[in-house]
């Protein structure tokens, strides 16, 4: 394990120390876990679209007819 120095505000560090004592752990353990969680959610989460599973966003808002120009609607700025 690599020892590092991190500067944080006293209120943040005191909050970590207080919580750590309540759960009978060290503040350094909580900080390591927080860093690992951040790494997993933000750094390692770079996956290809091919690896992602589809997500349902519900059904269509209204029926599509043969005369509908979907590309035109997607390209039109509605703001």
The length of the chain is: 79
Sequence ranges of the domains in the chain: 1-45
Q: What is the mean pLDDT of residues 21-25?
A: 96
Distance CA 21, CA 10 (A): 16
| Domain 1-45, classified CATH 1.10.1060, yes or no | no
- Total-model pTM: 0.53
Q: What are phi and psi of 27, to 5 degrees?
A: -60, -35
Residues 6+ apart with CB under 8 A from 68: none
**What's the pLDDT band for 29 if we cut at 50, 70, 90?**
very high
pLDDT digit string, tens, across residues 36-75: 999 888 887 666 777 778 888 888 787 877 777 777 777 7
């Amino acid at each position: 394990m690599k020892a590092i120095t991190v500067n944080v505000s006293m209120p943040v560090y005191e909050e970590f120390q207080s919580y750590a004592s309540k759960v009978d752990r060290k503040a350094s353990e909580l900080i390591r876990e927080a860093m690992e969680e951040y790494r997993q959610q933000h750094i390692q989460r770079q996956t290809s679209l091919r690896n992602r599973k589809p997500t349902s966003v519900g059904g269509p808002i209204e029926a599509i007819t043969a005369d509908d120009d979907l590309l035109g609607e997607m390209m039109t700025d509605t703001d």
